[in-house]
């Protein structure tokens, strides 16, 4: 999943990757920092190293593989993992014996035994700290037996065990005897929510979800019935749609969830099995035996990050996470220095990615005036038209050091290629991907008038773009290129049978040459980008997104359907940390209104919409007189928000003594807690039920926040929180602990047995079955507070016009839940705030900045080149059966009712090819992958005889 | 639309076993839209037959052509110059198209590759449901737009029968009772009087092929 991102960063012209280095000091001011780096020696020149791996293959030294968490070995010359960027090896001098073998073996002459530690300096305008986290080391918790019993592993180790590239190649085995486990226990909160032994009072936020995931994947990998049990205090699946996954694990896949913190783990020496001793909710001491125990270790800040923060003068909190303000979530205590990811606080992948974009927005805003002044651009010569020419194919066969050449007879393959139709030139290279070979290819293209190029080497995934650029650099259309993967799909697999490998290489080259002759030059359409942005929704998220863009110098139209800005936040008073929301909102609204780049349009209703990325047109009716306005814009940010659920439960709206948390917030703000003597709060009202399966994420902290206010103002008051799982994730766990310390009583209930609320002689009577006493408790309350969940704003009309996709709960769907959390599936459309899913104000701000940042990547370009790989319909033969319309995951094909034909707009086509595959009349072709261009490869393969 | 589904592969293979050169004729209208017999299905079936016959050491040469509609003689003209080169024709059109093809080339064996199934609607990609039995005497005006001939297991023109069971049919509890649905729809439209009208039963006996000549047209004396 992460590989394409790695490749993108690795190949990005304006991303300079400096690995194996640390910051020594940072001098200067925002806009002009001088960073002194310590560059540790790698002992292998990353520029010369091609990543062929020959050095590691011959290294005689065995070292512990820390990437696989010590579960297997590697060599002293090594690369952390096969997709690493840069794809260059290094030497671990702690274990290297200096035998010199690698230097002798390295064909690229990249080994530098005399490499030394150096210092270098960088000048930058902003700094982002994304130092990440490390898993908690459970060895000092001796009662768990980690380090003592082989079959007790951490969740990080288990993750590697499940991985296809891990120590057991994805086979589910336990370390002791490599037997497949029959029963696995996960123990939650190891190194989290625990101040006694490890001092990590916070919740690590991610362990519940990854434990459920690991259990589900382990069940998939297991050959028989695998029994999975997760021992937990609360299950915290609070992320978007996470609760549905948890329910699937619990109800469909039979993962057991046991509410208990395990007391001890003891090994049964004869079998290596482990006996887990724990107390159940009824207070009974139980024992259960498992074949394996996984410790769900928490996230913590590594020592090195603490030193880094110290050197930079950045303040950290008591757990060493970067100190940030609830309203400026990615700003550190030092101006011009930003942070994101787990260094900011425990969080999952989508949260980290969102924050990363937010930090980029903040860092970019500071530097907006200088945008584009220090970036590199490649100048390309004019393209020549070769359409009418007979194909003249150049074939370049790669030795890849001895990676290919050591197995495949490369000269024979090269000679063979010369005999194939239309081949005008052949050559072999030591490393086809090296810079000097690119120059050579260019030379040969010109010298031999080549109009097609085939490279027989490695994977197009990593190298195709580079070769295509080489073609462009000498005026040849980039789509006249084809690759044959004779390494990953050939020499690596058939290394023991060189003859067969050589034969297969010839087959692969013959196929590539056949396709190459069929390739057509394709023109990438260039469209201009309108630099104006449209933000829909004037709440905290929408305003922050507008400001983020305004500060970067882009004109923004901010639409708000109400008469004034502010959204739902107008109903809120304080964050759990004590941040004053109304003051913040007042300042924010003032900033937005005063900003010369932002035009606020209140009382606006979208009535018409058309266009595509870079060129949208939206019509709105404004104000009570419904004045029509048409706005042309290049991007859209959707921030329509959400509100509090109006309960149907527990007599809400019938009795004034039953209120929601937001209403309680108002009462506390106006009257304080002095006249409250007993308050009962009921969690999960309108969430985690049949109607709305998801968790609303914010209600637990809301209850804790209000409970704390009551207890602090009126310590005599009794506060009871009736809950199912308390989900005060991340640093909010401290507030939950504080509430318990102050005497707030938390009582857990099962959804099948919810509390009963009835009016009584004095106040209300709440009846609840206590899970420890197993008896009904009656609690008198003068106020019952319902922790009502969140409901998305009704956007049915908007979605009808703008064709945005929502999930069944009415929240907008992002392009990819993990990797693209603020992008919508349509290009140029972004998403932030509670329109995406329930979240806290701090999280909404970060997401708004992230959306602004993502939008900036679009708006900062004057024009965009569209991919030429799009689908084309032959309307003449199309029978309008609508199969393409119904099958396209991006809703691109449409039936044009005026022209009565199916149309596929190349500006929005993603080029996935699904429509071309399903078309029953074969009237849709995908450019660069036309039927002929694929079938000719099969014909070429079969022509060689099987 | 007429909905068809491809015959089981072994049945097609066995129909073709004695022929060495076969032209597979697709149809670009109904069967293309229901993903049973357009260009793509012709190509897929040909590839399957080609491979299967090679494995049996009895290779077959499969030709491919898809015409706009096999039920219009003008579109079949495109085949005239081709059929002589083949031992047999395989048709992926509906039963009407297959017969029309056989009628045009009486000397050639014309073999069906699909089973014509019903007249129906497209509920989603690859998902079709029957709606009409072409009974020649439409009562939809009286039945709230729900066809009792198609939807009722007995094809009753007047109903429901005694087998109606809490909204479902006596034959299967998952089969809704057509007349129950008709009742509900008419009730919602305040047209329950329609259900009281008696429709005479259709004469299903002695059925012969029907001919339709639209008003203003006549059958030419010579075709």
Please give the average per-residue pLDDT across A696-708, as a whole number.
Answer: 97
Question: DSSP states of A117-142 as a string?
Answer: -EEEEEEES-EEE----EE--GGG-G
Minimal C-alpha gap between B179 and chain A (Å): 32
Superfamily of domain B2-119: Response regulator (3.40.50.2300)
| Of A224-238, A270-284, A427-441, A675-689, minimum mean pLDDT range | A427-441
Q: Is B66 on the interface with A (CB under 8 A)?
A: yes
Q: Residue A804 domain-assigned?
A: yes
Cβ-based neighbour number of residue A35 at 10 Å: 17
Task: List the Cα angle A690/A695/A696 in 5-degree steps.
Answer: 115
Q: Residue A321 domain-assigned?
A: no
On the 0-12 / 13-18 / 19+ scale of CB atoms within 10 A, A421 is exposed
Boundary residue ending a domain (A818, A836, A864): A864
Report the DSSP beta bridge partners of residue A803: none
Report the DSSP beta bridge partners of residue A325: A328
Structure tokens at A615: 């060129």
pLDDT of residue A8: 80
Place of tokens 């017969």: B99
Same domain for A209 and A73? Answer: no
pLDDT of residue B89: 97
Q: Residue A385 domain-assigned?
A: no
> Would you say residue A1 has pLDDT above 70?
no
Please give the average per-residue pLDDT across A105-114, as a whole number.
Answer: 92
Boundary residue ending a domain (A259, A284, A300): A300
**Residue B83 CB partners (closer than 8 Å, separation 6+):** B23, B89, B105, B108
Interface test with B, best of A881, A885, A919, A922 (most B CBs within 10 A): A881
Cβ-based neighbour number of residue A305 at 10 Å: 22
Asked if residue A833 lies in contact with residue A844, where contact means CB atoms within 8 angstroms, the answer is yes
Q: Residue A898 domain-assigned?
A: yes
The alpha carbon of A751 is separated from its chain's Cα centroid by a whole number of angstroms, namely: 32
Set of chain B residues whose Cβ sits within 8 Å of the Cβ of A887: 125
Q: pLDDT confidence of A346, banded at 50, 70, 90?
A: very high
In angstroms, what is the C-alpha Rg of chain A? 31
Q: Do B125 and A883 touch (CB under 8 A)?
A: yes
Set of chain B residues whose Cβ sits within 8 Å of the Cβ of A879: 28-29, 32-33, 38
Same domain for A29 and A80? Answer: yes
Cβ-based neighbour number of residue A586 at 10 Å: 12
What is the strand order of the sheet B110-112 is part of? B61-67, B21-27, B88-91, B110-112
Q: What interhelical angle do A699-713 and A661-670 show, nearest 10?
A: 30
Asked if residue A47 lies in contact with residue A53, where contact means CB atoms within 8 angstroms, the answer is no
Same domain for A804 and A842? Answer: yes
Instruction: Name every residue in A having a CB less than 8 A away from some CB of B.
Output: 877, 879, 881-883, 886-887, 918-922
Same domain for A147 and A285? Answer: yes
Question: DSSP states of B51-117 as a string?
Answer: HHHHHTT---EEEEEEES-TTSHHHHGGGTTTGGG-SEEEE-S-HHHHHHHHHH-TTS-EEESEEEE
Asked if residue A425 lies in contact with residue A450, where contact means CB atoms within 8 angstroms, the answer is yes
Question: DSSP states of A189-219 as a string?
Answer: EETSSB-SSS-B-S--SSHHHHHHHHHHHHH
Same domain for A887 and A900? Answer: yes
CATH for A263: 3.50.50.60
| Of A68-72, A378-382, A450-454, minimum mean pLDDT range | A378-382
With CA atoms as reference, report the closest residue to A416 among A513, A497, A336, A488.
A513
Which of helix, strand or coil describes residue A489?
helix
User: What's the count of helices (H) and strands (E) in chain B, helices before strands?
Assistant: 8, 9
Nearest by CB to B28, from A879, A882, A886: name it. Answer: A879
Set of chain B residues whose Cβ sits within 8 Å of the Cβ of A883: 33, 35, 125
| Inter-CA distances, A459 with A12, A398, A486, A507, B99, Å | 18, 12, 9, 16, 52
How far is residue A937's CA from residue A484's CA, in Å, rounded to a whole number? Answer: 11
- The string of pLDDT tens digits covering residues A32-83 is 999 999 999 999 999 889 888 889 999 999 999 999 999 999 999 999 887 7
pLDDT of residue B106: 96
pLDDT of residue A254: 96
pLDDT of residue A717: 97
| pLDDT-above-70 percentage for chain A | 99
Please give the average per-residue pLDDT across B152-159, as a whole number.
Answer: 93
Q: Do B38 and A879 touch (CB under 8 A)?
A: yes
pLDDT of residue B202: 79
Report the DSSP beta bridge partners of residue B119: B2, B132
The alpha carbon of A836 is separated from its chain's Cα centroid by a whole number of angstroms, namely: 15
Asked if residue A67 lies in contact with residue A23, where contact means CB atoms within 8 angstroms, the answer is no
Same domain for A440 and A487? Answer: yes
Same domain for A172 and A184? Answer: yes
Strands (E) in A327-462, as ranges, are: 337-339, 393-398, 423-429, 452-457
Minimal C-alpha gap between A491 and chain B (Å): 30
Same domain for A653 and A696? Answer: yes
pLDDT of residue A885: 94
> Would you say residue B162 has pLDDT above 90?
yes
- The pTM score is 0.82
With CA atoms as reference, report the closest residue to A481 among A444, A443, A518, A431.
A518
| Inter-CA distances, A15 with A6, A375, B37, Å | 11, 9, 52
Task: Give φ, ψ of A362 to 5 degrees.
Answer: -65, -45
Cβ-based neighbour number of residue A141 at 10 Å: 20
Please give the average per-residue pLDDT across A660-664, as a whole number.
Answer: 97
Which of helix, strand or coil describes residue A447?
helix
Range of the structural domain that residue A893 is part of: 870-926
Same domain for A699 and A758? Answer: yes
Structure tokens at A165: 């590239």
Residue of chain A nearest B1, judged by CA positions: A881
| Inter-CA distances, A120 with A5, A22, A35, A36, Å | 27, 10, 8, 6
Minimal C-alpha gap between A927 and chain B (Å): 18
User: What's the domain count of chain A?
Assistant: 6
CA quadruple A759, A760, A761, A762: dihedral sign: negative
- The string of pLDDT tens digits covering residues B69-84 is 999 999 999 999 999 9
Strands (E) in A468-603, as ranges, are: 481-485, 526-528, 533-536, 556-560, 598-602
Asked if residue A456 lies in contact with residue A443, where contact means CB atoms within 8 angstroms, the answer is no
How far is residue A364's CA from residue A361's CA, in Å, rounded to a whole number? Answer: 5
DSSP B39: H
In angstroms, what is the C-alpha Rg of chain B? 22
Same domain for A742 and A823? Answer: no
Structure tokens at A151: 């079959």
Place of tokens 């009462």: A667
Residue of chain B nearest A876, judged by CA positions: B68
pLDDT of residue A908: 87
- The torsion defined by the Cα of B94, B95, B96 and B98, in degrees rounded to 10, comes to 90
> Would you say residue A465 has pLDDT above 60?
yes
Domain regions of chain B by residue span? 2-119, 133-196
Which of helix, strand or coil describes residue A574?
strand
> Would you say residue B204 has pLDDT above 80?
no
Boundary residue ending a domain (A300, A319, A354): A300
Which of helix, strand or coil describes residue A17?
coil
Q: Residue A699 domain-assigned?
A: yes
Q: Do A921 and B124 touch (CB under 8 A)?
A: no
Cβ-based neighbour number of residue A643 at 10 Å: 16
Length of chain B equals 223
| Inter-CA distances, A266 with A137, A269, A729, Å | 19, 9, 30
Q: Do A879 and B39 touch (CB under 8 A)?
A: no
Q: Residue A651 domain-assigned?
A: yes
Interface test with A, best of B28, B41, B69 (most A CBs within 10 A): B28
Same domain for A290 and A171? Answer: yes
Asked if residue A247 lies in contact with residue A327, where contact means CB atoms within 8 angstroms, the answer is no
Task: List the Cα angle A237/A242/A243 in 5-degree steps.
Answer: 70
**Residue A160 CB partners (closer than 8 Å, separation 6+):** A67, A68, A69, A71, A166, A167
pLDDT of residue B223: 65
Asked if residue A391 lies in contact with residue A518, where contact means CB atoms within 8 angstroms, the answer is no
pLDDT of residue A713: 96
Q: Provide the mean pLDDT of chain A.
A: 94
Q: Provide the mean pLDDT of chain B.
A: 94
| Inter-CA distances, B4 with A273, A561, B93, B94, B126, Å | 59, 51, 8, 7, 11
CATH for A879: 3.30.70.20
Same domain for A583 and A462? Answer: no
**Residue A646 CB partners (closer than 8 Å, separation 6+):** A652, A653, A788
How far is residue A151's CA from residue A174's CA, in Å, rounded to a whole number? Answer: 6
């Amino acid at each position: 999943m992460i590989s394409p991102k790695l490749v993108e960063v690795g190949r990005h012209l304006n991303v300079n990757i400096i690995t194996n280095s640390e910051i020594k000091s940072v001098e200067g001011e925002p806009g002009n920092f001088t960073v002194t780096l310590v560059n540790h020696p790698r002992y292998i020149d990353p520029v010369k190293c091609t990543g062929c791996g020959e050095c590691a293959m011959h290294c005689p030294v065995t070292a512990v593989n820390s990437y696989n968490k010590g579960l297997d070995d590697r060599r002293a010359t090594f690369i952390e993992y096969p997709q690493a960027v840069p794809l260059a090896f290094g030497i671990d001098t702690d274990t290297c014996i200096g035998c010199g073998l690698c230097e002798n073996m390295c064909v690229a002459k990249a080994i530098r035994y005399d490499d030394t530690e150096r210092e270098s300096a960088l000048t930058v305008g902003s700094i982002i700290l994304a130092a990440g986290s490390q898993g908690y080391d459970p060895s000092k918790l001796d009662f768990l037996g980690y380090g003592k019993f082989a079959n007790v592993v951490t969740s990080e180790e288990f993750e590697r065990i499940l991985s296809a590239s891990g120590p057991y190649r994805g086979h589910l085995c336990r370390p002791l005897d490599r037997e497949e486990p029959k029963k696995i226990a996960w123990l939650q909160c190891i190194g989290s929510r625990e101040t006694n032994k490890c001092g990590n009072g916070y919740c690590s936020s991610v362990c519940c979800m990854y434990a459920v995931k690991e259990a589900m994947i382990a069940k998939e990998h297991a050959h028989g019935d695998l029994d999975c049990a997760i021992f937990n205090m609360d299950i915290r699946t609070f992320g978007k749609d996470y609760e549905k996954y948890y329910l699937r694990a619990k109800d469909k896949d039979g993962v057991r969830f046991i509410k208990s913190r395990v007391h001890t783990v003891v090994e049964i020496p004869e079998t290596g099995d482990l006996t887990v001793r724990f107390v159940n909710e009824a207070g009974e001491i139980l024992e259960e035996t498992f074949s394996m125990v996984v410790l769900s270790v928490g996230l913590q800040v590594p020592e090195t990050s603490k030193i880094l923060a110290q050197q930079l003068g950045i303040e950290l909190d008591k757990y060493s996470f970067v100190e940030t303000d609830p309203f400026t979530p990615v700003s550190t205590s030092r101006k011009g220095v930003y942070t994101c990811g787990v260094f900011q606080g425990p969080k999952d992948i989508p949260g980290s990615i969102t924050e990363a974009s937010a930090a980029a927005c903040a860092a970019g805003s500071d530097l907006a005036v200088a945008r584009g002044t220090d970036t590199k651009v490649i100048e390309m010569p004019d393209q020549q038209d070769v359409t009418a020419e007979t194909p003249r194919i150049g074939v370049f066969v790669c030795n890849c050091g001895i990676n290919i050449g050591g197995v495949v007879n490369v000269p024979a393959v090269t000679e063979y290629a010369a005999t194939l139709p239309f081949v005008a030139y052949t050559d072999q290279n030591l490393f086809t991907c090296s810079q000097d070979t690119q120059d050579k290819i260019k030379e040969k293209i010109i010298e031999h008038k080549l109009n097609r190029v085939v490279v027989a080497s490695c994977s197009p995934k990593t190298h195709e773009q580079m070769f295509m650029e080489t073609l462009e650099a000498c005026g040849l259309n980039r789509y006249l290129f084809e690759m044959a993967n004779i390494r990953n799909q050939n020499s690596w697999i058939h290394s023991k049978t060189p003859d067969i490998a050589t034969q297969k290489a010839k087959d692969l080259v013959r196929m590539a040459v056949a396709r190459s002759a069929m390739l057509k030059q394709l023109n990438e359409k260039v469209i201009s980008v309108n630099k104006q942005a449209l933000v829909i929704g004037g709440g905290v998220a929408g305003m922050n997104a507008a400001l983020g863009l305004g500060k970067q110098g882009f004109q923004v139209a901010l639409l708000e359907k109400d008469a004034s800005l502010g959204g739902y936040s107008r109903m809120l008073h304080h964050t759990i940390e004590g941040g004053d929301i109304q003051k913040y909102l007042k300042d924010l609204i003032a900033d937005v209104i005063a900003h010369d780049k932002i035009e606020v349009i209140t009382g606006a209703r979208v009535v018409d919409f058309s266009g595509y990325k870079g060129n949208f047109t939206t019509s709105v009716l404004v104000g009570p007189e419904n004045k029509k306005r048409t706005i042309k814009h290049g991007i859209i940010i959707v921030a329509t928000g959400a509100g509090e659920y109006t309960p149907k439960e527990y007599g809400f709206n019938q009795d004034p003594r039953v209120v929601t948390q937001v209403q309680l917030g108002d009462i506390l703000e106006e009257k304080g807690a002095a006249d409250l003597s007993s308050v009962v709060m009921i969690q999960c009202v309108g969430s985690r039920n049949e109607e709305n399966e998801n968790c609303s994420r914010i209600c637990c902290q809301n209850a804790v926040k209000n409970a704390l206010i009551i207890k602090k103002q009126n310590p005599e008051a009794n506060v009871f929180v009736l809950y199912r799982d308390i989900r005060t994730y991340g640093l909010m766990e401290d507030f939950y602990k504080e509430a318990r310390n102050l005497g707030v009583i938390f009582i857990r209930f099962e959804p099948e047995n919810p509390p009963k609320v009835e009016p009584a002689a004095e106040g209300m009577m709440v009846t609840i079955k206590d899970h420890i006493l197993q008896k009904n408790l009656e609690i008198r309350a003068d106020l019952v507070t319902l922790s009502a969940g969140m409901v998305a704003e009704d956007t049915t009309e908007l979605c009808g016009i703008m064709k945005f996709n929502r999930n069944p709960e009415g929240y907008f769907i992002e392009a990819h839940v993990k990797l693209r959390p603020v992008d919508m599936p349509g290009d140029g459309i972004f998403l932030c705030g509670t329109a995406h899913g329930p979240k806290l104000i701090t999280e909404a701000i970060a997401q708004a900045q992230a959306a602004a940042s993502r939008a900036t990547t679009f708006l900062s370009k004057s024009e965009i080149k569209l991919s030429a790989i799009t689908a084309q319909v032959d309307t003449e033969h199309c029978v309008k059966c609508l199969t393409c319309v119904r099958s396209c995951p991006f809703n691109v094909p449409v039936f044009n009712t005026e022209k009565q034909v199916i149309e596929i707009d190349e500006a929005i086509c993603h080029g996935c090819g699904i429509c071309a595959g399903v078309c029953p009349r074969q009237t849709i072709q995908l450019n660069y992958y036309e039927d002929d261009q694929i079938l000719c490869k099969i014909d070429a393969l079969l022509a060689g005889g099987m | 639309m007429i909905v068809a589904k491809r015959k089981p592969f072994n049945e097609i293979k066995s129909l073709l076993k004695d022929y060495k050169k076969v032209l597979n004729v697709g149809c670009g209208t109904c069967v293309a839209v229901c993903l049973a017999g357009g260009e793509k299905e012709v190509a897929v079936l040909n590839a399957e037959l080609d491979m299967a016959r090679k494995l049996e050491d009895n290779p077959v040469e499969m030709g491919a052509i898809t015409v706009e509609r096999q039920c219009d003689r003008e579109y079949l003209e495109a085949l005239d110059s081709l059929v002589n080169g083949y031992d047999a024709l395989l048709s992926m059109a509906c039963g009407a198209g297959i017969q029309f093809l056989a009628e045009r080339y009486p000397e050639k064996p014309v073999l069906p590759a699909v089973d014509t199934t019903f007249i129906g609607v497209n509920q989603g990609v690859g998902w079709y449901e029957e709606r009409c039995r072409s009974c020649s005497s439409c009562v939809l005006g009286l039945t709230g737009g729900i066809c009792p001939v198609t939807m009722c297991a007995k094809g009753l023109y007047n109903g429901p029968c005694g087998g109606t069971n809490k909204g479902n049919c006596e034959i299967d509890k998952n089969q809704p009772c057509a007349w129950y649905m008709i009742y509900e729809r008419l009730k919602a439209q305040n047209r329950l009087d329609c259900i009281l009208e008696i429709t005479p039963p259709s004469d299903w006996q002695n059925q012969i092929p029907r001919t339709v000549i639209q008003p203003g047209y006549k059958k030419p004396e010579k075709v």
